[in-house]
Amino acid sequence: MSLYQSVLFSILFTISMLGVQAQTNAPSTPAVPDAPADAQIVDFPVSFFDQYQPRTALDIVNQIPGFTLNNGDSERGFGGAVGNVLINDRRPSAKQDLPSQILGRIPANQVERVELIRGQVRNIDLQGHAFVANVILRADAPATARWEISMRDNFSVFPPTYDVSVSLSDRWGDIEYNAGIKGRSGSSGEDGNDLIYNGSGVLTDSTFDRFNNRSFNGDGTLNASTWIGENFVHLNSELFVEKRITHLASHKFPELPGGKTGREATDGDPLVKRFEFGTDVERLLQKDLLGKAILLLSYKDSDNLDDELVFDQNNRRTEETIADKQTITREVITRLEFDWARWSNHAIQANFEAAWNVLENALLQTADTGPGPLEVDIPGSNTTVKESRGDFMVQDTWTLGNVDLDYGMGGEVSQISQTGDAVEKRDFFFLKPMAMITYSTEDKSLTRLRLVREVAQLDFNEFVSTAVFEDNDLALGNPNLSPETTWISELSHELRFGEIGVLKLTGFYHWIKDVQDLLPLTNEFEVPGNIGDGRRWGVELESAVPLTWLGLVGSRLDFQLRWQDSSVTDPVTGESRVLSSVGGFPRPFPFREEIQLITVVKLRQDFREAKISWGGDVRERRERPRFKVNELEVFDESTDVNTFIETTRYWGLKIRLEGQNMLNVNQSRDRYIYTGLRGLTPLKRTIIRDRNDGSRFFISVSGNF
């Protein structure tokens, strides 16, 4: 389905839903369900969260015992990308404007209660999530303006970072809306050493690096909803602009006699412009049939000019490399959702989605070693990638007393084509069955067995080649990359006790086909590719425990642990190994990633009468390996300790002081580079890199009026 067909299809469906005689006394807001009496729902009145001094709906959701917010931004299509949060039984028609950002603009005084939905209720489509938080807003909420000012400083050579945001929730006639703007002047950086050893383990060179990054961005959003006749219409829009200025300075210090000193400097100035518009129309088509049409449009333009300069020991420039890159992405999604509740004890859902994605990448790179600039050819850097995709899912939830049986069948057909430096066209078809059985009791205990087939989201940037100045390397793209598919099996049990107590244990085993990893291209270069079939298995433990039995009134301890092992046949050595993990140092590190062990411990104590809270968290994870054709990378962040103290007792404001990386630990990246194929040839050199971005302190002040 082309872009124009997708848009026309959605417009025609929307018109068909709107073009019906208007309802004479339509309500101004959708019907809000009464407090539930259902074993599949754990209900939290807003008074439950008073002790946490919430100022936004996000503050509330983050304190739900046994629940972790998932923004869903890396999942496939619209259905998987909207996260595990509902607002009045509905998902926002947005992808770039994340659920956490939307919740952060909703004042806490507009929330009536929150439901933790753990199974099929009220024909709500859980979109494959085992748990969904449903934020129920007050129908009579007053107009509220929310503002927040914050500053971050790590007491280094880098200037502080400032954030300012303002949002307004109000009603204009029959239209309820939330509009927000925010701006940021950011600064960050890190410094550290690279120690370089030869194949015999002798230190030969070292460098001192300092990286700094300045950023300026602005973000404007508008969310609105109203009734038009018998149709409930919802609109979401976002406009985002960001400018960055980066600088990396590297100084070389030879460790052996006769070595040469020198330095390198890399500068960049990326500019990002992004726009998203989404709308959905919901209507009761028949007595037992609810229909919803969704249209989502997004556009992103990224411009980046990188300049690398190399100087010798006499501070004379010996080389200059310039990379001028522009990447434009566009996406159109149309989606139809139907909920049918005609049969007793059955809830039938059908979803149909069509999507059109485009990535256009242009790169002009030149190198000048003295005679003048010469163009550098990087194969696969000037290219256009297009995807047309359609999928469906039909499922039924059959309720048999305390047992719910969910079963269904989905399918996906897509075509991916690439033109420019690489010319390729491929067609895909996947069946996506699912089955889940849930047993729940009146005391809120729950046992679930789940089996589902998932198709991974492709990152179109992995189809495109680019230069990596920092490593003097190339990241080549692969036009033959295919999405991996995974059969997921899970068995979980959840036990709830007291007001906040929860203990949840999950065991999982995954069968993976066409594992997405790094595929050897030559003895020096690799590309993102599919390396065969793999396995992943492990356990997750999540709990929230009150600590009043220790005499710590108003306190709770939240604990998360994930252990996993995995196996795949290494395309270089032919031996079994674990799956590659992610590179870099994302903060905070994702809980469900390719890592052997990660633990998160959070402590919080609230003094309700004094209106003061304090606490912190500790995050610990194992090393993370990445396997290249001639190199093994190992990333490690060690232990991360964060603390906070906040109060609402002064002038009706919320004042929060937060410390991050309080132990000031280093981030390490160890590179083991071989003379040829990794593990099959002698070690050529080892680069041990340590970086430190310092302890960071935040102070924020927020309020409503």
Q: What is the number of other CB atoms lying within 10 angstroms of the CB of residue 546?
A: 18
pLDDT band per the 50, 70, 90 thresholds, residue 313:
confident
More confident residue, 548 or 120: 548
Bridge-based pairing state of the strands 667-674 and 683-692: antiparallel
Q: Is 654 exposed, middle or buried (0-12, 13-18, 19+ CB in 10 A)?
A: buried
More confident residue, 537 or 590: 537
> pLDDT tens digit string along 430-467?
999 999 999 988 778 899 999 999 998 888 888 888 87
| Range with lowest mean pLDDT among 78-92, 94-108, 229-243 | 78-92
**pLDDT value for 512:** 97
- For tokens 């005084």, the residue is 109
Q: Among residues 607, 500, 504, which one has the least CA distance to residue 556? A: 500
Whole-number mean pLDDT of the chain? 87
pLDDT band per the 50, 70, 90 thresholds, residue 29:
very low
Q: How far is CA 230 from CA 10, 456, 476, 539, in A?
A: 18, 37, 52, 47
Mean pLDDT along residues 238-250: 93
Helices (H) and strands (E) in the chain, counts: 3, 37
Q: Among residues 266, 313, 674, which one has the least CA distance to residue 470? A: 266
**pLDDT value for 141:** 80
**pLDDT value for 27:** 42
**pLDDT value for 257:** 66
**pLDDT value for 19:** 40
More confident residue, 544 or 92: 544
Mean pLDDT along residues 227-237: 92
Ranges assigned E (strand) in 588-682 = 597-607, 612-621, 624-627, 631-636, 640-647, 654-660, 667-674
Cα distance between residue 699 and residue 687, in whole Å: 37
The one-letter code for the residue type at 265 is A
State the DSSP code for 158.
Answer: S
| Range with lowest mean pLDDT among 39-48, 235-244, 624-633 | 39-48
| CA 588 from centre of chain | 11
**pLDDT value for 66:** 85
Give, in degrees to the nearest 5, the angle at Cα 192 between 191 and 193: 150
8 A C-beta contact, residue 525 and residue 474: yes
Q: How far is CA 340 from CA 89, 121, 280, 394, in A?
A: 16, 13, 19, 11
Number of Cα atoms under 13 Å in the Cβ half of residue 314? 2
**pLDDT value for 91:** 79
Mean pLDDT along residues 416-423: 91
Q: Which two tokens stand for residue 233?
A: 């219409």
**pLDDT value for 7:** 44
Mean pLDDT is highest, among 9-18, 577-586, 614-623, for: 614-623
State the DSSP code for 138.
Answer: P
| Range with lowest mean pLDDT among 34-38, 39-43, 700-704 | 34-38
> pLDDT tens digit string along 515-540?
999 999 888 888 899 999 999 999 99
Sheet holding 132-137, edge to edge: 41-45, 111-117, 132-137, 85-87
8 A C-beta contact, residue 167 and residue 155: no
500 phi/psi in degrees, rounded to 5: -125, -5
Flag whether pLDDT at 24 surpasses 60: no
Cα distance between residue 386 and residue 360, in whole Å: 9
Q: How far is CA 176 from CA 18, 168, 699, in A?
A: 19, 11, 32
Q: What is the number of other CB atoms lying within 10 angstroms of the CB of residue 18?
A: 16
> pLDDT tens digit string along 483-524?
999 999 999 999 988 888 999 999 999 999 999 999 998 888
686 phi/psi in degrees, rounded to 5: -125, 135
pLDDT band per the 50, 70, 90 thresholds, residue 556:
very high
> What share of the chain in percent tops pLDDT 70?
91
Cα distance between residue 684 and residue 671, in whole Å: 11
**pLDDT value for 252:** 84
Flag whether pLDDT at 573 surpasses 70: yes
Cα distance between residue 484 and residue 205, in whole Å: 41
Mean pLDDT along residues 35-60: 83
pLDDT band per the 50, 70, 90 thresholds, residue 35:
low
Cα distance between residue 558 and residue 340, in whole Å: 39
Flag whether pLDDT at 14 surpasses 60: no
> What share of the chain in percent tops pLDDT 90?
53
> pLDDT tens digit string along 49-81?
988 889 888 999 999 988 888 876 555 666 666
**pLDDT value for 16:** 44
**pLDDT value for 434:** 94
**pLDDT value for 39:** 67
> pLDDT tens digit string along 645-695?
999 999 889 999 999 888 888 889 999 999 999 999 999 999 999 988 888
The one-letter code for the residue type at 588 is P
Helix (H, G, I), strand (E, B) or coil at 182: strand
State the DSSP code for 134.
Answer: E
Cα distance between residue 81 and residue 456, in whole Å: 12
